[in-house]
Each structure stands twice: as C-alpha cells, then as structure tokens.
Structure 1
C-alpha cells in the first residue's frame, strides 16, 4: 500500500497563493519581491505619468534646474519693461490662468516653432491645475508669480498685498522647489513702490512689466492680436499676453512667423536678460 501525503488545509492555501503570485509575475514581467516603492514601480511611474499630468512633447530639451530664488540683475531697474535692444530676443510673457487645455495648446504651438515663453501663474490657477507648473518648466519655459488670486494688488493694504505675493510664491515652491523666476503685479502694468518692496521681501529682486500690450484679453480676434504685437514689437521687447484666450492660441503661429521675418526670436525672459 502506497502512502500519499495529503497537504493540510493551511498548506493547500499557501500553495494556491504562491501560484497566484507566480501568474501575476508572468503577466507583469516583475517578480513577487518587487514592491510599490521598488525600482520596478519607479520605472512604471516614469513611463506612465499620473492622471492630469501632461508630458512635454518629443524633442523638448531637458530642463535645467530652476534656482530656489530668482536671479538679481545688477544694473537693471527694480521694474523691468524690456531687455537689451541690441539682440534678436523678444520675451512673450503670459498671464497664467484660464482653461488648461488652451494653455497646453499654446505651449505646444510655441515648442513646435522652437519658441520659449514666460508664464506668470496665478496661485489659485495652480491650485486647480497643479501639473501645469511642472509642464511649463519641463517645456523649457520660465515660470513666475502673478499673485494668488489675481486681485488689483496695488490697491490692497500692505498685509493683503504681501499675502497675495507670498501665497503664490509658496504654491510655486511646493510644486517646483522654487518661488519662480519673476513676479508680475496683477491687474496693473507696473507695481506701486509698496508692491515692489513687498516683492523684493518675498524674494523677487525685480518686478517684470512690459513695453508691448497685445490687448488679447479683450478678445479682438487672432488677426488683431498678431497685428498689435507686430506693429509695436522691437528687439528686447517684453510682450504681455494671456493664457486662456482662444484668439491668443490662434494668433501664436502667425505671430512667431512675423517675429522671424523681422529677425526676432521668442525666448524666455531669463534668456533675454542674460545676454
């Protein structure tokens, strides 16, 4: 008589669990020892970004590290309206809020033409769409501070104005490790002396203004946006534009072509002022 060793119920359960793990490993290509925090999970996360995160397009240069605090430019004023008039650079700067799909479309259009821009983000826009902060930087663009709630910052009390600047700076630091490269006052082309001082206290040596207003926020049509900018732009210009407006997205290809015909090139504000 041959004796058969029958596994106990506990042993049978363990064998079934082991078989399940082996099958899962065969399907996923990973061993049962890999955990959610191990190298395989890290690789998978890199290959598949979280929902809501947008990759930069193929061919986008690897971004350089953004300094934790903005750079000071000795010899430049506290409020900067334009860069050097001797080179081909022009800074297209965008007030950052509105439909994130339009922002993504505009960034991709710029990148297809080899252009780099500056986005001055509103803090509560970043709260609603946090992935856009890294998206801007990963595309090789500048990212800066346009206050937390886009209020008329020059009209606020000192405490309220400081909070608007500092709260947006904290959002940027949390999302990117930096307070951003530039500060621009909300609802005003230039900052009051108080706001300049508060911005400096928050870590921004310069306030970024502009010398060309596209008036795109009035939604005049793509042709009008293009015409307004090209009629006024000069070497070194800083142009005010807005995300979230379809006319601006539609105008960008013709605007970039017009700059090219004038021997001008869209660069980040940091690049414009570093020449």
Structure 2
C-alpha cells in the first residue's frame, strides 16, 4: 500500500494453521504475572572502547527530528496500515537472534532499544541487528531506574550507552527509550536532549511480556490493543516473547498491516508532505 513492503501473509509465517493457533492462544486466559540519513549525529564524546567488535558494516541512522511531533512519541499515524514492533535489547542473545530471524522471515523490520551492558557482552549483536534491516537505539547503559538517580548519574546512563553505540555502529542510535519504562520525566527529557536525542520513543501497546509466563498472555494483550500506527513494546531475549512472535506476526498480516521500524512508521509519504506545503 505504501510501496515499501508487501503485507505479510500468514503463509509467510506459520502456514495455513496460523489462524487456528492464534485463536487458541487468544482464547486462553491471561497468564499469571510475576512481578534515513546515515551520518552520525552529535553526541557524547567516546572514550577508548572496552571489549570491542568492529563497527557495523551498515552504520546506524542518526537520531532524527520529526517536526510537528511531540518530544515523547507514543504512536504513529492512525490513517496508514503500519505498526512498529520495538524491542528492549537485553536477555538471552540466542533468543534475540531467533526473534530477529523470525521477524525477517515474516518480512518485518523492527526497532531494538539496546542496553549498553548487553552490547558490551555481545557486541556482534549490533551488527546483526543492522544487517537484518532493523534499527538500533539506546535503552540506557545498565537498565537502571532513571527516576531514582540523581541528574549526573541519570545522564551518564544515557551517555554511556550512546558512546557504546557510536563505537559499535558509528551513531549514537536512532532512538532513545528510558528505563525501566517508556515514560520520560521532565528531567529525563532534558537529559535525553542533551545527549543528542530529539525524541523519546514511547509506546501505546505494552506487551507486559517481562512478567508473562504463557504465550497467551502476550498475544492476547498485544492483539487486543493493536491498530494502525501502534508502537508495540516487547522484550527481545525472553522465551515467551520469541514463542509468541509467529502468532503476533501472523495476526499483523491477517489485519493487512505492515511491521516496520519506528522511523518508517513516522515517515510521511512525499505526497502528504507536498499537500502540507501547499
């Protein structure tokens, strides 16, 4: 519909049995809860690397300003059949690779907000994300509660991850998302701007997969809230999320939606820009 990517059919993901599997998952009760420039933007200066991989062959896009949109972006346009799956980048690296591969087989491009220490332990994942056609961003260095830190410590959480991303990808990352939630206090917003991020990436669909123990909890929550323009928050390295992905991708395709990166979700077609200019 937008010329970028054909809608994802169910056969691309799960075959003819996808609809039945999704229906079974959605009918199950909720689970018990336990608890496009490619140049680098100005950002924090980088000290010498510690434990490194070569920079990604495809550099990460720099943070981009979207005029007319708020500093914290919670969703994209509601008049286009697109959604963005955004993942907190931490957890089991093998599960992360599996999740990325499943998205790619379904024709989906996603946004990974990576934790700095996760990239320090698995630096090759930065290249893996970018080379898969996805985009990468900053989810703080250690995934601490920014609201509980003083200003200096909170800024360093943002800046340290930005420096690490620059070393690995040539950019401070396309997006910033606070930890541990997508909410950004006025202080965090100010610190994010200072670090070089013109927007904070929020969400309007929280999967709550971090607390889920069953696939049905994730599929039911996301499918029940998904619509045009949704920014979906998921976890990249959790077993329940990886298991739920084929069902979620099948549901996205069944609804005629396209799974794109957050940047692609917010991009305006040239025709729309021309109409606005008039």
Verify same fold: TM over 0.5.
yes
Structure 1 unaligned segments of length 5 or more: list them: 1-51, 54-62
Q: Residues 1-275 of structure 1: matches in 2 within 5 Å?
A: 65-67=59-61, 69-275=62-268
Q: Secondary structure at the match of 1:243?
A: strand
In the comparison of the two structures, how many residue pairs are matched? Answer: 214
Aligned partners of 2:94 and 2:187: how far apart in 1?
Answer: 35
Which position in structure 1 is the counterpart of 2:45?
A: none
Q: Displacement of 1:187 after TM fit?
A: 1.1
Deviation digits for residues 38-70 of structure 1 (CA, Å, limit 9, x no counterpart): xxxxxxxxxxxxxx99xxxxxxxxx86533x31
Whether contact under 8 Å (1:85, 1:236) holds in the other structure is yes
Q: Displacement of 1:221 after TM fit?
A: 1.1
TM-score under structure 2 normalisation?
0.75
Q: Displacement of 1:94 after TM fit?
A: 0.5
User: Is the alpha carbon distance of 1:151 and 1:123 closer, same or farther for their aligned partners in structure 2, counting shifts above 3 Å?
Assistant: same
Q: Secondary structure at the match of 1:216?
A: coil
Q: Secondary structure at the match of 2:173?
A: coil
Aligned partners of 2:59 and 2:87: how far apart in 1?
Answer: 21
Q: Displacement of 1:220 after TM fit?
A: 3.0
Q: Displacement of 1:158 after TM fit?
A: 0.6
Structure 2 unaligned segments of length 5 or more: list them: 1-51, 269-278
Kindly report structure 1 stretches of 4+ aligned residues shifted beyond 2 Å.
63-67
**Higher RCO, 1 vs 2 (CA within 8 Å, ≥6 residues apart):** 2
Q: Displacement of 1:244 after TM fit?
A: 1.6
The structure with more radius of gyration:
1
Report the RMSD for the aligned CA atoms in angstroms.
Answer: 1.5
Whether contact under 8 Å (1:169, 1:179) holds in the other structure is yes
Q: Displacement of 1:154 after TM fit?
A: 1.9
Deviation digits for residues 221-244 of structure 1 (CA, Å, limit 9, x no counterpart): 112211110100110000110012
Whether contact under 8 Å (1:70, 1:204) holds in the other structure is yes
Aligned partners of 2:140 and 2:161: how far apart in 1?
Answer: 5
Aligned partners of 2:153 and 2:98: how far apart in 1?
Answer: 34
Q: Secondary structure at the match of 2:142?
A: coil
Whether contact under 8 Å (2:203, 2:231) holds in the other structure is yes
TM-score under structure 1 normalisation?
0.75
